[in-house]
Structures are given as C-alpha cells and as structure tokens.
Amino acid sequence: MSRTRRVVVLLAIALGCLAGLVALPATTSARAVPADALAELRPLTTYETSGYRWENYGTPDLIELYVDGAGRLGVVSVDPEAHTLTVETRDPSSYAVVGAPRVISFADAPVYGDFYAAPDGTFYVLLGRDNLQEKDALEVVDIRHYSADWSLLGTGHLRGDADENGIYEPFAFSAPDMAIVGSRLVVNMARTMYQSGDGLHHQASLPFEVDPVTMKAASFASLNGGNAPYSSHSFKQLVAASGKGVAILDHGDAYPRALQLSVLSGYTTGNRSAKAFTIFPFDGAVGDNRTGVDVTAMYAGPSGVLTVGNAVPHQHPVKGVSGAKESYRRNVYAISTDPVTGTSRFQWLTELDPTGGATALEPRVVQVADDRYAVLFSLRTGTVAKGALTMEYRLVDSSGAVLASRSWPGSYFSPITEPVLLGHDILWAGLDPRVENESSVTPYLYGLDVSDPTTPVRVGQGSTTSPTSTSTPTSSPTPTSSPTPSPTSPPTTPPTDDPADSSLAGLQARGGRLSPAFTPDLRSYQVSMKRRQRSLLLTATPSVPGAMVVWKAFGSRIASTDISLSLSSGSTSLVKAVVTSADGSTRTTYKVSVTRA
C-alpha cells in the first residue's frame, strides 16, 4: 500500500552556525528544598513538563540527565523560549554544581527535538526549523554532534525533500528519540508533511540514520527504495538496539491505530528490511487523537523487546472493565515482544479499577542491571497538587515479569525526565507537587538507592517516608483527570447552587493568553498563541456542579470541560463552549476566537 495514502488529518493541523558558550551564575531560590530532594535544579520557563501533552501526544523532555566519563552528573535544561540548552556538571556526592554552567544557543534552528548522550561520551542534539514554504533544498533538521567538553564536532542535515512526503514542520505533535546502533545514529521522528491533494498537512513518522564520522544523514526510505517503518499519525517515537538489528516504536492513532513495533533485524549488516508488528491495538475511531495510551520506554533484552507506558483498558480488561472511555482511570502496562515473530505478552503492572478514584500516572524506566529494569511512577487520587499521592517502584525483566514491588505513600514521582543510574543510585528530576502548576517551575533532583534492586531505598536530605508492599493509595477521593489550571489564568468566581444557572465560573487557556480577563457575564474572548506554541488547552468551569459543557470546534461536539486544540501557524479558529444548566432549563454560549501567530 502506498505510504502517501495512509494518512489522516489532525483535529486542526498545526501546524548552521557554531553554538555559543557563555557562563551563567549558579541557580538560587528562596523556596525551601523538599525534604526528600537531593538538590535544586535550574528553573524551567514553561509548564510543558510532562512527556505527554494532555495525554494525547508526546513532547520532548525539557530536562535531560547523563553521567559523564568522570562519573559526574550532567544536567541539560532546555529553554524553548530563549532557544538555549544550559549544561551543568554536578558533583556525584554533594550534587553541587561544578564549574560554570554553559549555554548553547540553537536560535538558528529554533525547534527543539531531542538530546542523546552516546556511549562514547559525546552528545547529539536534534534541532529543526519550520519549512512553511515547502522548499526541498532547505535544511529542515539539524543533528549536532558535540564532544565531551561540548565543542561542536559536526552537523548533519535532513532537507525538506528527505522523503517523498517532505518535511513541513519538524517534530510536530511528537517526541523524537535516537540511539547509536552499530556504527550509525538512528533517529525516529515525526513531522507534518507537504500539503497533500486535500489541502492539508498530514503528520507521520520519519526514521533516518546519521553517519557519526561524516555526519551524512539519510532517511530510511531513501536508503531502501522508498520502504521504511511508517506510522500516521505518530505521537511518540522510540529507538533501541536489538541484537544485530534495531527496534523502532511509534504511537499511532490511525494507520495503524496502535503501538507499532518495527524491527530491522539485519540493520547493522546493511539489511534495512523491516517487519512491522502491532503490539497494542487501540479501540476508537481512526484518527481520533485521544487514544487513552502513553508509551514512555522501550528496551531490548534477552526475553524480548520491553515496552512500558500507561493506558485505559482497551481490550485488556482490568477488574472486568474493558474499553477506552475518556473517564476511565489508567494503569501501567508492560509488553514483551519477540523481535522475530512479533508475538507479544501484555500484562498490567497495576490493577486499579478503571471506574474508581485512583489512576496511575506516566511511568519512566531505567536499566539497573543485566535484564533488570526499574519502573517508576505515581498513583494519584484527586489532582496532583491536592490529592493523595503514592510513589511506586516495579523491578521487571525483559519478559515483563515483576521481580520486586515497593510503594511510598505520600511521595510523588514526577515524570519530567528520563532517570539515570549513577553508581548505585537512580536519579531523576522532578517537581514539588504543591507548586507544579506555576508558570515558572523549579525542578529538584531526587534519588533512589538500588544497591539491591529488589529493596530500593529513598535517598534525600531528609527522606523519612518508608516503603510498603501495597500498591493501593491511602485514600480515594473523586479524581480530576484534567490538568489543574495555571495560576496565571484568570481566577474563577465562587460556585452557586442555582440549578438553572448556565454561566461559567471560570475560563482558562493553557498555551495562550486569554483576553479580556474572564468575567461570567462576558460571552466573547480572544486567545493569542505564540508561533512556537502549537497547541492550546481550554478549560471551562461551570458555576453550578451538574451543569454540562459541550465544546463546538471544527465541526465536532465534545462533551467535556476541557478541549485541546492544535492550530497551524497564522490561522484563526472560533470555538464555542455551550453550557447547559443542571436542570436543563437554560443554556449559555461562550465564544473564543483563537489565533496562532
């Protein structure tokens, strides 16, 4: 089947110079470091701190950790507004900053994709620039190779015509991944493509490779007669070496609507033929961006390719409940796949009632020993900031079998970066849940001693929480599945108890600026989005519990207090929030005109 035809439109289609090094002062803050934290890290300038954007599609991590050749911790902080990477080196025992932090500018290629610390101690940074004029010769993607001391060694490029579909917006609605496989750097990314016959810019995956010596980059399709792993849409990409081959994973919502694992078993010998396996098919309509699934890790081990994430049940029942209703709570899953046959073993690492009050948040995974992988995540009831939280640990092997399990009630694992193993400690960057929704957020460094991976121990300045063997949260209040509004949003008005009231108490915009300030009696608003901000979350809060909100956008009706929108650059769209009173007697419509620069 032609790859060009296997596409589907998003709800609203969104869419070389040497890097300078300068010194920065050390981070300071007036806020007390949480008791279980090891150190405070550099503040982030954006709230986009989760691997998945409102649980639909992946976004690149804005903090990356690595261990350098001297056994010290490296911390890379991304500022997507200033188009910079800030690199810090930290002492492995005190976690204090060693030397002056450095800033690396990517203003000439301002779209950030990914960071990778290679096994040889060098680094790769994946960057891009939009190609809105659809120029075949434009170098749309940069792969910059840095030495251990962050000197630029070379830059590879992908042009706009990297494959027959072209690159319009690199990394749009996705989170790329890359890894050294044999003698090549393998990159799996997605992009919106050149305008098709229907006038739209569809989105799909685009795997490619880079020769680290020459920095020559080429798409898999161009190297294999147009044949390459392909997924549309692809909301998250992962790469892992697998024996003499490479495993490539895509999170698709259409063709296929599934997690698709593509294996090139002879890749390191020059054979780029791929087998594609559907390892987790999703319920729902083709092209519905909401799949109810996140995928966050993939490792190739002796028993198979291990894939981990969280999801609603789909066709893997939990406590007798199957399906993919938006209201269902999530559990953490592990899938082990035979890379030769594609045979997969699916199992849940948690078994929370999908109709209950608790949900499992996005997991992260780090390898701690041969065929041993630590899965870290949190269970939550209520909102992250105010609900009950329990940090969870599962030790699994590549078959997905659980070898150990620990829980820390009252602790929180914040999924904003990939953990690393430094000596016997797992380290990760996380947020204080009490302040996670500030417009400028301060991450902290946390740790777990896994000298014995079957009995992990929390480490920190004053860690006092003790592990338990239970995986059940301490309480189960009614959860809130959507993000807590940013404190920079207009305040909500106090709720009323009039069943005939169809007004809103609040209207928040995350990812854009709402104007004028919200008042219940004003019915029309504008939201302006910056050009780099490709999506927007609108939240309408009824004044009366029991009132129903239905969003009307792009010819669709969505019964929800939240709606996630994706707009192309330079476009304006009108959306409406129709509020029906609790007794059904009145109805009020709020209009929001959204413009992306």
C-alpha 85/C-alpha 546 separation (Å) is: 46
Q: What count of Cα atoms within 13 Å lies in the side-chain half-sphere of residue 546?
A: 13
Per-residue pLDDT of the chain (597 residues; tens, 9 = 90+): 333 333 444 544 333 333 333 333 334 444 567 878 999 999 887 655 567 766 688 999 999 999 999 999 999 999 988 999 999 999 999 999 999 999 999 999 999 999 999 999 999 999 999 999 999 999 999 999 999 999 999 999 999 999 999 999 999 999 999 999 999 999 999 999 999 999 999 999 999 999 999 999 999 999 988 889 999 999 999 999 999 999 999 999 999 999 999 999 999 999 888 999 999 999 999 999 999 999 999 999 999 999 999 999 999 999 999 999 999 999 999 999 999 999 999 999 999 999 999 999 999 999 999 999 999 999 998 765 556 889 999 999 999 999 999 999 988 898 899 999 999 999 999 987 665 444 457 899 999 999 999 999 998 754 544 555 543 333 333 333 333 333 333 444 455 578 889 999 999 888 788 999 998 889 999 999 887 676 788 889 999 888 889 888 876 677 778 887 877 778 888 999 999 988 888 999 999 999 988
Token pair 């799909």 in the structure block, residue: 204
C-alpha 322/C-alpha 12 separation (Å) is: 29
Six-digit token string for 356: 């209950």
Q: Provide the strand spans (E) within 211-292.
A: 217-219, 232-242, 245-255, 258-264, 275-281
- DSSP element (H, E) containing 220: helix 220-223
Asked whether the beta carbons of 560 and 575 are under 8 A apart, the reply is no
C-alpha pair distances (Å), 347 with each of 87, 133, 280, 350: 38, 46, 11, 9
Asked whether the beta carbons of 175 and 114 are under 8 A apart, the reply is yes
- DSSP element (H, E) containing 221: helix 220-223
Q: Provide the strand spans (E) within 397-454.
A: 402-409, 420-422, 425-431, 443-449
Six-digit token string for 6: 């296997």
Asked whether the beta carbons of 441 and 47 are under 8 A apart, the reply is yes
C-alpha 513/C-alpha 437 separation (Å) is: 16
Amino acid 90: pLDDT: 97
C-alpha 18/C-alpha 152 separation (Å) is: 7
Asked whether the beta carbons of 346 and 315 are under 8 A apart, the reply is no
C-alpha 206/C-alpha 187 separation (Å) is: 8
Say if strands 587-596 and 524-529 run parallel, antiparallel, or are unpaired.
Answer: parallel
Q: Helix, strand or coil for residue 433?
A: helix
Asked whether the beta carbons of 559 and 550 are under 8 A apart, the reply is yes
Report CA torsion sign: 255, 256, 258, 264: negative
Model confidence pLDDT, tens digit, residues 248-278:
999 999 999 999 999 999 999 998 889 999 9
- Domains plus CATH for the chain? 106-291 (2.40.128), 504-596 (2.60.40.10)
Classify residue 222 by its DSSP letter. Answer: H
Asked whether the beta carbons of 551 and 560 are under 8 A apart, the reply is yes
Strand partners, 105: 84
Nearest to 252 by CA among 279, 226, 271, 274: 279
DSSP-assigned letters across all residues of 517-563: ---TT--EEEEEE-TT--EEEEEEEESSTT-EEEEEETTEEEESSEE
The region that residue 119 occupies, defined by phi over 0 for left and psi between -120 and 50 for alpha, beta otherwise, is: alpha
Q: Helix, strand or coil for residue 399?
A: coil
Q: Helix, strand or coil for residue 267?
A: helix
Q: Helix, strand or coil for residue 223?
A: helix
